Amino acid sequence: MSKKMLQFTKLNKQNPDKRETGKRKGDFKEIYDEFINDKATEQSSRCSQCGVPFCQIHCPLSNNIPDWLKLTAEGRLKEAYEL
């Protein structure tokens, strides 16, 4: 397990900022702005790498969430995107 994981005890959860309502009304894009890479890496380190990954079980796309978060926490974003 990456030494950068299990930071949920030290880092508070943060979501990306919501886009302004006026901008969101005119399109069907995501309502949240994108995280910058550093913030995504920081937040992914909060993953507890639990034995039963409920995040993956309940993902409608069946994405491999724990491995994706581990790679992101290690700064290996390109590999995470390809997963």
What are the tens digits of pLDDT across the range 38-78? Answer: 888 888 888 877 777 888 888 888 888 888 888 888 889 89
Q: What pLDDT, on a 0 to 100 scale, did the predictor assign at position 25? A: 92
Average pLDDT, the chain: 84
Q: Looking at the DSSP assignment, which residues form a beta bridge with residue 18?
A: 32
Q: Please tell me the distance from the alpha carbon of residue 16 to that of residue 28, in angstroms, as a whole number.
A: 17
Q: Is the pTM of this model over 0.85?
A: no
Q: Please tell me the distance from the alpha carbon of residue 51 to that of residue 57, in angstroms, as a whole number.
A: 12
Q: Are 26 and 40 in contact (CB under 8 A)?
A: no
2 located within any domain? no
Residue with tokens 């930071």: 7
Q: Please tell me the distance from the alpha carbon of residue 36 to that of residue 61, in angstroms, as a whole number.
A: 23
Range of the domain at 28: 7-82
42 located within any domain? yes
For the chain, how many structural domains are there in total? 1
1 located within any domain? no
